[in-house]
């Protein structure tokens, strides 16, 4: 079994990365939901938006869980 070794992380680099992740999360969470028309293309675009959001949040959850597991191990 392989283990993830983060080594020594510089505090400034970690703070900068955390700030970028926080900014991205705020943009996603507080961003407006795009409005689409009632036609078929609008519905398809909305479904793409919803599926993309679900995939993005799932990957973000796995990433955070993996990072916490590696740090707290």
pLDDT digit string, tens, across residues 22-69: 888 777 777 666 667 778 888 888 888 889 889 999 999 999 999 888
Does the pTM exceed 0.85? no
Mean pLDDT over 8-18 rounds to 78
pLDDT confidence tier of residue 10, bands split at 50, 70 and 90: confident
Question: Which sequence spans correspond to the domains of the chain?
Answer: 11-72
Cα–Cα nearest to 21, from 67, 69, 53: 67
The pLDDT score that the predictor gives to residue 55 is 92
Residues 6+ apart with CB under 8 A from 9: none
Mean pLDDT over 8-34 rounds to 77
The pLDDT score that the predictor gives to residue 61 is 92
């Amino acid at each position: 079994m392989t283990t993830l070794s983060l080594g020594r992380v510089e505090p400034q680099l970690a703070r900068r990365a955390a700030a970028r992740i926080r900014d991205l999360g705020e943009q996603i969470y507080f961003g407006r939901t795009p409005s689409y028309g009632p036609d078929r293309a609008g519905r398809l675009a909305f479904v793409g938006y919803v599926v993309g959001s679900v995939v993005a949040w799932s990957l973000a959850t796995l990433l955070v869980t993996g990072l916490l597991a590696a740090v707290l191990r």
